[in-house]
A and B are shown apart, each in its own frame.
Chain A
Amino acid sequence: MIELKNVSKTFPTAEGELHALTDVSLTIGDGDVYGIVGMSGAGKSTLVRCVNLLERPTAGQVVIDGADLCAMGQKELIAQRRSISMIFQQFNLLMQRTCLKNICFPMEIAKVKKADAEKRAHELLDIVGLPDKADAYPAQLSGGQKQRVAIARALASDPKILLCDEATSALDPKTTRDILRLIKDINRRLGITVVVITHEMAVVEEICSHVAILDHGRVMETGTVEEVFSNPRTEAGRRLVYPDGVRISELPAANVVRIAFNGGSSYEPLIASLAIDCGVKVNILGADTRNVNGQAFGTMLLGLPEDPAEAAKAVAYIKNQPNVTMEEVRDYHG
């Protein structure tokens, strides 16, 4: 269990003191995936660095499994840090070492025998899905692969806690999903407590069980992801959950269908003719349509009218269109 008790951190600057964190108290249970979200400059990175004392809090306590880190000497702290791993936005791999040697590094400093370390490193490469990259150098890997190596390295010391500092912010959306899935998987299989720092709500939604919202160095609200996302109680929370000021639950669509254009003529105005021919008005919730040489490719999400008769009429009309397929969307939340 990680307990932050009234943690404050100030940095001396030319224009006086900068209060990066003010009176932050958090409790993170064992096995949780805990998200800490906030805008840039909210103090997220400082907060996560307080957990392993890369930043020493100006005031307050950092207690891990009952032991106060701030009261520890250098030796004890170094031992404690070996059970807290960290991954970073910029991966921070050793560029002059192969992937295998990178993963061996935490074991090397903990004086694990070389043969044992390499055996374990190969196992970890398997876990993160890069069994063939043992002898590659980080410069030869893509961003997602680098982060996988960083995760394998983080796991090498058998940590209790994994800190992720914007670990997916430098990755593209698909790679982000893959990496998050891997982190979630590791949390489930190995029971490691994960602390995720991010500015992206999508990341929290994807993997976190609990979330804390940080704003200007203060914790605004904490709770399970469901609680905070369904009903953010503070202004800062609302700003993050509904960045464009729209509450998804307020959208009128009762039944939603997804239609896919399979390359018919995009110059036949489907939605307009639906309105004219059947007198049914549908709500376009989202569309991703591309016009390639006059052929329409893509999908569109339509919110059908609430009246069942009108909805049926619209469905029948769309089904009769050539080159258009339709399916109902049951779990639509925006």
Chain B
Amino acid sequence: MAEWIISFFNITDPKLVKDISEQIPYLLNNLVFAAWETVYSTVLATLFACLIGLPLGVILIVGEKGGIRPLPSPLMKALNVVINLLRSVPFLILMVVVIPLSRTIVGTSIGTVASIVPLTIAAAPFVARLMEGSLREMDRGTIEAAQAMGCTPFQIIWKVLLPECLPALLTSLTTAFITILGYGAMSGAIGGGGLGNMALNRGYTRNMRIVLYVAVVALVILVQIFQSVGTHLATRMDKRLTGSKARKASAGDRGRQARKDRRMGPPGAM
């Protein structure tokens, strides 16, 4: 592979030839595994962060004053303070702080699996705020209609709030996933695996510039893929007029109406 690249591009610069012949074999052996590590640690951390963050986000909306099921205001204040506190600790510091916790939970503080613990702790309050933002979009009138129908607060959350906000929640989930991907790359600094580790410990520290570039490009590609999938799912799922199917249907209606208008003359002409 390395030889093929050198001959194909007719590379003569001896330093570049040396770099290519050293680093391309390394990439071939390690890139796919590093990308896999990044994906699975990000997916798992996002999953755990949502398991904690989504209920917190729901509580933030439902429990506030004037919400569906107001909770005691000291409780809500405490929750807000804790979330803000966790969010204000820089991720690099947080990773170091939770090393003992990682050791307790997964038995080690080094490696990809261990990095899931600080990732989850850092992302959960962020996810809570994201979900809060998405749920705040909910139309008050629809909630009121559900209350008028005799829904219990739990039924409103489960059957109205979450399903109606699902597209927005999915968009937030995509944002969370990509942010966690970025954090995960940072966890390479304390022994987490994946593309971040590769870029940092091989590419940057050992001055393997081709490895650095390829790892970063791989991260960029991963972000593109997950963002596209997330956006696509969120729009396709949304049954309001933003959905492509509904948009097509209404465009057809408008077209038909316009043709009819042309035949009939402008509306209002008697």
> Chain A interface (Cβ within 8 Å of chain B)?
52, 54, 78-82, 84-86, 88, 90, 92-97, 105-106, 108-110, 137-140, 157, 163, 290, 292, 297-298
Contact = CB atoms under 8 A, between A and B. Distances in A.
8 contacts: A88-B145, A138-B239, A139-B240, A139-B243, A163-B148, A290-B269, A292-B269, A298-B270
B61 to A, nearest CB: 17
Given A96-B164, A109-B155, A137 B150 contact: no
A94 B270 contact: no
Contacts of B150: 78-82, 106, 109-110, 157
Contact of A94 (B144, B163, B243): B163
A78 B155 CA distance: 12
A51 B6 CA distance: 82
A81 B151 CA distance: 9
A106 B149 contact: yes
Contact of B164 (A82, A85, A90, A95): A95
B149 A85 contact: yes
B160 A88 contact: no
Interface residues of B, number: 28
B142 A94 contact: yes
A166 to B, nearest CB: 12
B22 interface: no
B250 interface: yes
Interface in B136-187: 139, 141-142, 144-145, 147-152, 155, 159-160, 163-164, 166-167
Nearest to B155: A109
A88 B141 contact: yes
Chain B interface mostly helix, strand, loop or mixed? helix
A84 B147 CA distance: 11
Interface in B243-270: 243, 246, 249-250, 269-270
A163 B149 CA distance: 11
Q: Which 10 A-B pairs have the closest CB atoms?
A: A81-B150, A92-B145, A82-B150, A137-B239, A86-B148, A297-B270, A92-B141, A78-B150, A139-B241, A139-B240
A157 B163 CA distance: 22
Nearest to B149: A106
Interface string B58-78: 000000000000000000000
Contacts of A163: 148
B270 A97 contact: no
Interface string B36-57: 0000000000000000000000
A140 B245 CA distance: 10
Contacts of A139: 239-241, 243, 246
Contacts of A157: 149-150
A220 B124 CA distance: 56
B57 to A, nearest CB: 18
Which of B142, B149, B166, B246 has the most chain A CB atoms inside 10 A of its CB? B149
A92 B147 contact: no
B238 interface: yes
A109 B148 contact: no
A84 B241 CA distance: 31
A92 B139 contact: yes
A137 to B, nearest CB: 4
Nearest to B247: A139
B142 A105 contact: no
